[in-house]
Amino acid sequence: MNVILIDDHALFRIGLEGILERRGVNVVASLGDGEEGIRLITEQTPDIVLLDMRMPLLSGTQVLKRLRDNGITIPIVMLTTSNEESDLIESLRNGAQGYLLKDMDPDDLITALHDIKRGKTIVAPELTTVLAKVVQQGINHSEDKSDPFAELTPRELEILCHVADGQSNKVIAKNLGISDGTVKLHVKAILRKLDVHSRVEAAVIAVEKNLCEKIIRD
């Protein structure tokens, strides 16, 4: 696994680089400049980008937005000390495929990185209740509306269940025998119909409502 690490704290960066290398992860580049990081990511195309949230000049969120706006689809993981709800939600809405905390166990970090490389979206266990609360607030806010799942087509329901299982668009496309582009269009329609901003939010709603279990049972 090839990783680029962007963090402006040199001591943390150097220490993490050693931890990753000792566990078989190849750190292609380790730097503290977001602008330079964007250039290297475009040139090197690593498997995963580990990105700090709080950095001078360009914040981690700004780097994330720039990369996604430039069409970079590489998994980007926010590795931060922030457990703020707003930071978590903003990161996921802007395309982060992981949100992990810096005080996590090194072996748990490696496991999370392998899961993310396989297409899953991973949020630090300590923050899953925060994410669930945000999604639940959205559900309560619209509980008087008609069932949003009723608007989904059978294919969209099927794809939503794959999303809830943590699968990437590429994996879903392979499993269903359709193109990545077709999956992407379906996911956009699902987010619009459920009135959510990220696939993670859609997945949480599907799990909380036991939607996929109902579909399988039916």
Q: Is the pLDDT of residue 140 over 80?
A: no
Band of pLDDT at residue 142, cut at 50, 70 and 90: very low
Q: Which residues pair with 122 in a beta bridge?
A: 98
pLDDT digits (tens, 9 = 90+) for 60-95: 889 998 898 888 889 999 999 988 888 888 888 888
Domain locations along the chain: 2-124, 145-217
Query: What topology is assigned to 2-124 in CATH?
Result: Rossmann fold (3.40.50)
Assess if CATH 3.40.1390.10 describes domain 145-217.
no
Q: Which of 152, 154, 183 is nearest to 170 (CA)?
A: 183
Band of pLDDT at residue 9, cut at 50, 70 and 90: very high
- Amino acid symbol at 55: M
3-state secondary structure of 67: helix
Q: What span, in angstroms and rounded, lies between the C-alpha atoms of 200 and 218?
A: 24
Mean pLDDT of 137-144: 49
The tally of CA atoms less than 13 A away on the side-chain side of residue 67 is: 34
Domains 2-124 and 145-217 share a fold: no
What confidence score (pLDDT) does residue 148 get? 66
